[in-house]
Amino acid sequence: MPTREELVRQDAEDLKRLGYTQQLFREMGGFSNFAVSFSIISILTGAILLYGYGLKLAGPIVNTVGWPVVSFFTLAVAASMAELASAYPTAGGLYFWAFRLGGRGWAWLTAWLNMIGQVTITAGINVAAAIYLIGAVTRVFGLPRDLKVPVFGSLTNWNFQLCVMVVIMLPQILLNVRGIRWTARLNDFSVWWHIVGVAVIVLLLVFFASHRNPTSFLFRFENVANPLDASSAELAGGRAGPALVFGNVHVPSPLFAIFPGLAGFYRSAPFVLCLVLSLLQAQWTYTGYDASAHMAEETVMARLNSAWGVFLSVAVSAVVGLVLLVMLTWAIPGGDVRATASDPYPVLYIVDHNMPRLFANLVAIVIGGAMWLCGASSVSSMSRMWYAFARDDGMPGARKIRTVHARYGTPVVAILVTSALAVAISFYAAAFTVITSISTIALYLAYGIPIYLNFRNRRRRRGEFASAETAPWNLRRWAPLVNIISIVWILFITVVFSLPPNELVLWTMLLLALALSAYWVISARRRFPGPARPPE
């Protein structure tokens, strides 16, 4: 058996063949690599924070049917990505994969989508944690919901929630700056916190739940928030109607103006519309698992461990998440979906009405801790992607962003810059579901580009593509089918999550496409060299 030093040396040689020298400290084992993606997926973050969103639109069926459906298609995406992570074990993986498979233009587009997705997912995670922690503290300490806060006015004020977000992020940033060894230990701890935390919640509901709904209830469709109402806001003159909301500005919805029949369709709240809109709950939870690829240059036996990290983080989350969601739905007090979904903190509402106060407070602490750990892992992944792109002169200020701290061996400037951007984008969006939709679409488009290029090259038998010879972790003869399923699913969710009530996502992504196109034509096409090329 080779020693750890020999394995690390082999990883460095693999990296050198891809065109890079080892700069980051290679401290992560396979479990730690899996842990960073599992922590970012964090079923105790996405599935909990968007529990009420899904419940309002579709009722219990979103958890018992919607979650498994999304899990199945996401596993196809994860498997397609794992194969590429095995073939190209580098930091900033997706961007490098796209370059090797399709060239500079594809790489540049993938990088920007991935970087925007990484920043918005970190923003979404930490905004979510801030909103949740404010609610948890008021419940644990019995504070009134309308408690006034100096300067901000109320606990639910968006600016106050962003202030709490900054406070949450400061220790995450410091831990990430201190070095990969600290980050790896934190991620290892996070895995057990999530698994034990879910087990504690499930067992408490099994033995102490005072409300238990029949099995048939779990498959009920119930629309509490009409999609048209969810897409509306107060407009000029005091009237309410379909609206586009950014910051504190409300303007009439361009999409509803272009398609007048859309209002009637939304008002009728058909089952299919409500169900597909509600899938954001599960799909946003399944984001960020590309972190295992981004941490490849800090992982031992990266060709196998990074691939397994990508795939297993989704597979384990699928099972654990389903158990958690079914148990929570089973315990909805009196089967009253409306009351539960209308509460600002639906999961806390369920546990408050099902178990003694001591246990309910314990659950609140478990969930809050998981959200903070999730945010810390997301800062790690986000900064590595930006570092990798800056290393190849892909952005303004690249010389500073790509620097690695001599003592800690971490990309400190990348950590600070990306964390600041995560806060800044939250001021623009001013709505949690908008941030989550942007991050989901941007990340999955970044996932989809190298998957498509790999499929295209394999079908043509031309150019590079993952195979049993180049990727120890591979899909063998199932690869084309799994790739096709992945591509179709990514196109589907891109359309669905751009629809009202997240219309701002549609126009934001279109503006982003125009801005990136202009930037590429005017500047980047001539100046961007692309990733390093392997030595001859």
Please give the Cα distance from 321 to 198 (Å, whole number). Answer: 8
Cβ atoms of 172 and 16 within 8 Å: the answer is no
Structure confidence at residue 536 (pLDDT): 46
Using the predicted structure, report yes or no on whether residue 413 has a pLDDT greater than 50: yes
**Mean pLDDT value of segment 277-283:** 91
Chain segment 496-520, per-residue pLDDT in tens: 989 888 888 888 889 889 999 999 9
Buried residues in 27-38 as b, exposed as e (16+ CB within 10 A):
bbebbbbbbbbb
Chain segment 235-270, per-residue pLDDT in tens: 877 788 888 876 667 888 899 999 989 999 999 999
Please give the Cα distance from 361 to 352 (Å, whole number). Answer: 8
Structure confidence at residue 121 (pLDDT): 85
Query: What confidence category does residue 42 fall into, taking pLDDT thresholds of 50, 70 and 90?
Result: confident
Using the predicted structure, report yes or no on whether residue 478 has a pLDDT greater than 80: yes
Q: Which of 8, 1, 3, 5 is nearest to 302 (CA)?
A: 8
Structure confidence at residue 433 (pLDDT): 63
Query: What confidence category does residue 21 fall into, taking pLDDT thresholds of 50, 70 and 90?
Result: low
Please give the Cα distance from 425 to 444 (Å, whole number). Answer: 19
Count CB-CB contacts under 10 A for residue 411.
27
Question: Which strand ranges, in their side-by-side order, compose the sheet holding 249-252?
Answer: 232-234, 240-246, 249-252
Domains within the chain, CATH numbers bracketed: 23-226+269-527 (1.20.1740.10)
Cβ atoms of 164 and 133 within 8 Å: the answer is yes
By percentage, how much of the chain surpasses pLDDT 70? 90
Structure confidence at residue 214 (pLDDT): 94
| pLDDT, greater one: 267 or 384 | 267
Please give the Cα distance from 209 to 212 (Å, whole number). Answer: 7
Mean pLDDT, all residues of the chain: 85
Question: Under DSSP, is residue 345 helix (H, G, I), strand (E, B) or coil?
Answer: coil
Q: Which residues contact 311 (CB under 8 A, 6 or more apart)?
A: 75, 78, 79, 82, 473
Structure confidence at residue 227 (pLDDT): 92
Structure confidence at residue 22 (pLDDT): 53
Cβ atoms of 347 and 328 within 8 Å: the answer is yes
Please give the Cα distance from 76 to 289 (Å, whole number). Answer: 13
Cβ atoms of 58 and 297 within 8 Å: the answer is no
- Dump the DSSP string for 417-448: HHHHHHHHHHHHH-SHHHHHHHHHHHHHHHHH
Query: What confidence category does residue 199 fall into, taking pLDDT thresholds of 50, 70 and 90?
Result: very high
Chain segment 310-342, per-residue pLDDT in tens: 999 999 999 999 999 999 999 999 999 999 998
Q: How far is CA 306 from CA 290, 450, 508, in A?
A: 9, 16, 32
Structure confidence at residue 26 (pLDDT): 52
Q: Which residues contact 245 (CB under 8 A, 6 or more apart)?
A: 233, 430, 431, 434, 504
Residue type present at position 259? F
Please give the Cα distance from 356 to 361 (Å, whole number). Answer: 9
Structure confidence at residue 36 (pLDDT): 76
Chain segment 286-319, per-residue pLDDT in tens: 987 887 887 776 677 777 788 899 999 999 999 9
Query: What confidence category does residue 440 fall into, taking pLDDT thresholds of 50, 70 and 90?
Result: confident
Question: Could you tell me how many helices (H) and strands (E) the chain has, helices first?
Answer: 26, 3
Structure confidence at residue 20 (pLDDT): 52
Find the range with the poorest average confidence among 64-73, 272-281, 357-366, 376-385.
376-385
Using the predicted structure, report yes or no on whether residue 442 has a pLDDT greater than 50: yes
| pLDDT, greater one: 178 or 364 | 364
**Mean pLDDT value of segment 424-453:** 81
| pLDDT, greater one: 127 or 340 | 340
Using the predicted structure, report yes or no on whether residue 184 has a pLDDT greater than 60: yes
Phi, psi of 367 (to 5 degrees): -65, -45
Using the predicted structure, report yes or no on whether residue 125 has a pLDDT greater than 50: yes
Please give the Cα distance from 43 to 51 (Å, whole number). Answer: 11
Using the predicted structure, report yes or no on whether residue 117 has a pLDDT greater than 50: yes
Structure confidence at residue 428 (pLDDT): 63
Can you say whether the dihedral through the CA atoms of 23, 412, 130, 199 is positive or negative? positive
**Cis peptide bond upstream of 531, omega within 30:** no
SS3 per-residue string spanning 53-102 = HHHHHHCCHHHHHHHHHHHHHHHHHHHHHHHHHHHCCCCCHHHHHHHHHH
Q: Which residues contact 152 (CB under 8 A, 6 or more apart)?
A: 159, 160, 163
| pLDDT, greater one: 86 or 237 | 86
Please give the Cα distance from 442 to 385 (Å, whole number). Answer: 14
Query: What confidence category does residue 34 fall into, taking pLDDT thresholds of 50, 70 and 90?
Result: confident
Q: Which residues contact 170 (CB under 8 A, 6 or more apart)?
A: none
